[in-house]
Amino acid sequence: MKKEKIIVEAGHIYTSEKPGQNHLNDAILGGKIASHIESNFGFEVEKWLLVDNYNPKKNNEIELLDLNGYLFQLRSAGFNVEKCVFEENYVPAAKDIIEILLKNSHAFEQNGNIFFSKKKSLLYEPEKDKYKCGLLDAALYLHKLQDSAFCLTLLDKKYESEHGMAMEILKRLGHNVEDKIVALLYSASGNGAKMPFFKPLVENSLQFLSLSDQLENIAWSFKIK
């Protein structure tokens, strides 16, 4: 019987950045989580890295990232990346999502700008020909869920609003994502993080507890030393 796959994403970085200790802390935490899932729950875990090569280009920022060197650093920190994806590659999917949102009145156009109706948040800025991060994140999550039962992303708390927008977009697209996506939001400057965890329910097939049940029943603390 094929194991259920869970995607763990950690180490998010911009091409305009050089890796720092916060990136490595993220990788250490991601590696611990991935190992815990494999050892205690028996699922297949695929470790992902998202490289943002889109926003630095739009902002005319100098490319500083040595990707091969960074992948080696992540591996040394215990997070052996199995799939590296790039933000720019999700632009075509973002365009498709906007078309669906507009068709179903979940987005509207004003002077060429496209806004998400739910929060009147900007999705597309024509002056810069730029798609916003929450929209691109929604496209990324759709990619992940094509090939996994559950995905967990480690995110600096400063990205909380973008993650929230991505989740709202996915709901408007008709996807039930609360039982399939968890973001571990933490402070990059802190020395640890609490995460909501999950456990399997076996009935006719593998299911996951709802996010509220996860928070209520299981919480693990991983401390970065």
Q: How confident is the model at residue 225 (pLDDT cuts 50, 70, 90)?
A: very low
The Cα–Cα gap between 90 and 169 comes to 15
The amino acid that residue 131 corresponds to is: Y
Instruction: Name which residue leads in pLDDT, 207 or 163.
Output: 163
Distance CA 200, CA 188 (A): 30
Could you tell me if residue 109 is inside a domain?
A: no
The answer to the question of residue 100 being in a domain is no
Does any domain span residue 102? no
Residue-range definition of the domain harbouring residue 15: 5-88+136-223
CATH number, domain with residue 142: 3.40.50.620
Confidence class for position 213, pLDDT limits 50, 70, 90: very low
**Is 161 part of any domain?**
yes
pLDDT exceeds cutoff 70 at 125 = yes
Which of 62-66, 99-103, 189-193 shows the lowest per-residue confidence on average (mean pLDDT)?
189-193
Report, as an integer, the average pLDDT of 204-225. Answer: 35
Whose tokens are 């979940």? That residue is 106
Q: Does residue 125 or residue 215 have the better pLDDT?
A: 125
Is residue 105 a part of any domain in this protein?
no
Dist CA 28 CA 32 (whole Å):
6
| pLDDT tens string 147-171 | 898 888 988 888 889 999 999 999 9
Residue 61 lies in a domain: yes
The domain total for the chain is: 1
- Tens of pLDDT, residue by residue over 72-96, are 999 999 999 999 999 999 999 999 9
